[in-house]
Chains A and B, each alone.
Chain A
């Protein structure tokens, strides 16, 4: 089959929420499937609790730009709902959002959460999951990023099993308990998005 497969994804969150771990899993899964990958990330000052984002580009073709153009993203994947809205202008007219419903309030002027979620819902096909609750249920409250990855799984052009393989690679060294909690978090996220 010779069709072009490509996907541009904005990963969003607050510094410390683990969006680079999501990127690692998707990157490596895509590479294993023979796709080209480019991923731009934010290091440095913003990682101290500021807004952080990563541009993830997957394609069977050559990828030129390290950044996704505004208006070019197929998907916004966010561990925090306000952060999902921050990159709306990157989304294609028919692009989708997958986000957690849990606000991370570390600023004095955080808007009313109902309004934030309503704006996400206004994007057709958007998916909102309670990542905080599901991560706790999975046994690792820090695994909200993995819940979101699970919730996005069926929208990604990479295979679910490849994603799980790299969740294993990522968390293996942290011990059996954390690994199985993350695999469970992935499944719970996936189920919640159905």
Chain B
């Protein structure tokens, strides 16, 4: 047994490797990126499994599902909104089931530190009717990953591992166990994996019939733990994931301590919950993310004779992540003494000085000066920071790839000029299909692809289409060759670049301007690596 300091993300990754991982796939996204980064880094030393970035989350999911079909243990990881992208195969994979153990790691970002929304992936696990583990600490993250594979193969179901930002990105010591051998390959049965309606109905029935067994698993799971305090019959707590740590941090270690049910495995353990309810009158439900347990336990009408408090009653904040101090009042404790905080100038993130996007935005804005109705539909990446002054360059950011479809829709509604701005990696992720649609319609819009040769925002993961290949893709999607323009976003080319923007705005129909210059951070990384890839 050895102890290593690991990020929560890394603890899951290592647990998977030591559970006999065959292959893992992912698309970068905070706070999940470190899972795949760790897998790739460790594989250089060991070289025993496949670990690769995919072009988007849906693709990553399907690749991992294929590994499971073939009998290997597989993992797919992404951030919460990545599961939206992969939702199609995710929902149906519950029906095909898993052959080799399959874990779906989803890292939620409550408080939206680096995200466009906050959503709680436990709803997805419930939606698909599959088990879900939610670690409270790093040791659990490791242990759960290993246990999730056992469970997945026992029930032939994918298992979700739900992470949240603070556990993904905190470090602590983890004790590891010896590595299990990989599975020998054995393909899935075709009648299970071909979801024709008559077969799918049977597969769905199987999942429904499994539910009581899953609840039983949950009741007996070491990750769900009820500690009743015989001296305190009035107040109890249900706490899941990292919220459990915040509760434990604050709970006094004396006879007044509440009875506590820690939840780490879903579906919810009904008997354990009932036992807590039988013991106390008031129950606080503390969970990171949405009031998932609170809603389930309370239902529409509550529980007769019991007071259930939490995010829905205002005892905890309805939105955002919890913290050790937000749970104090809910536990009936006074805040700790602390110093007052002055109002300070904020320091939001911003584009690096000299970033190529800055020069593209400058030229674009100048070209748009004469068009008060001009709108820049943007996307997800460093360039979203172009929202802030002094750039004030973009007007929207919704989800990966939305810029192109929205610009097309707006232009067809009559908005002019409609500009879409997207990075090379995001374009590969989910911009290509939208561009195909815009090209077929010859929509009156200008698409600007910011080709900085990397996935910059999440730390420089590889991009699937950059440079000449990117141009070939754009042409292949049906954009006329003379409407594909390439510019170099540098101050010395400013005037020339403004002219290119003006010409393409004036052209009636689809145009694509590709602004090519490498991200500065990426260049630095290459330098450090001695010029190697």
Contact = CB atoms under 8 A, between A and B. Distances in A.
Interface of A: 14-15, 27-28, 31, 36-51, 55, 63-72, 82-83, 85-86, 88-93, 95, 106-111, 119, 123
Q: Residue among B113, B342, B349, B385 with the most chain A CB within 10 A?
A: B349
B345 A111 contact: yes
Given A15-B349, A65-B246, A45 B457 contact: yes
A27 B6 CA distance: 11
Given A50-B348, A67-B166, 15 more contacts: A14-B347, A31-B5, A37-B173, A38-B171, A38-B172, A41-B170, A44-B113, A48-B385, A65-B248, A68-B324, A69-B324, A83-B347, A85-B344, A89-B340, A106-B350
A71 B335 contact: yes
Given A71-B325, A72-B336, A48 B382 contact: yes
Interface of B: 3, 5, 30-31, 33-34, 113-114, 166-167, 169-173, 242, 245-246, 248-250, 323-325, 328, 335-342, 344-353, 382, 385, 389, 457-459
B5 A27 contact: yes
Given A46-B349, A48-B382, A93-B337, A27 B171 contact: yes
Given A28-B5, A40-B166, A86-B344, A71 B323 contact: no
20 contacts: A40-B166, A40-B169, A43-B459, A44-B114, A44-B458, A45-B349, A47-B349, A49-B347, A64-B245, A66-B167, A68-B324, A69-B250, A70-B338, A71-B325, A72-B336, A85-B344, A88-B340, A89-B339, A106-B353, A109-B345
Contacts of A31: 3, 5, 173
A44 B30 contact: yes
Chain B residues touching A, majority SS: loop
B457 A70 contact: no
Given A82-B345, A107-B345, A71 B245 contact: no
A43 B338 contact: no
Contacts of B113: 42, 44-46
Given A64-B249, A70-B335, A107-B345, A36 B173 contact: yes
A91 B249 CA distance: 17
Nearest to B321: A67
Contact of A66 (B173, B242, B336, B346): B242
A123 B338 CA distance: 13
> Which 4 pairs across A and B sit closest by C-beta, in order of nearness?
A71-B338, A71-B336, A44-B30, A44-B114
A66 B341 contact: no
A106 B353 CA distance: 9
Contacts of B166: 40, 66-67
Nearest to B457: A45
Contacts of B346: 51, 107
A82 B171 CA distance: 26
Contacts of A123: 339
A40 B458 CA distance: 18
B85 to A, nearest CB: 18
B340 A64 contact: no
Contact of B114 (A36, A40, A45, A106): A45
B13 to A, nearest CB: 15
A107 B34 contact: no
A28 B169 CA distance: 17
A64 B242 CA distance: 9
B167 to A, nearest CB: 7
B342 A119 contact: yes
A119 B31 CA distance: 34
Given A70-B325, A72-B336, A82-B344, A43 B30 contact: yes
Contacts of B336: 69-72
Contacts of B350: 48-50, 106
A123 B385 CA distance: 35
B349 A49 contact: yes
Given A37-B173, A49-B349, A86-B344, A69 B249 contact: yes
Contacts of B328: 69
A65 B324 contact: yes
A30 B246 CA distance: 23
Contacts of B3: 31
A14 B246 CA distance: 27
A123 B340 CA distance: 12
Contacts of B335: 70-71
A43 B34 contact: yes
A28 B5 CA distance: 8
Nearest to A14: B347
A130 B34 CA distance: 34
A110 B349 CA distance: 15
A103 B250 CA distance: 36
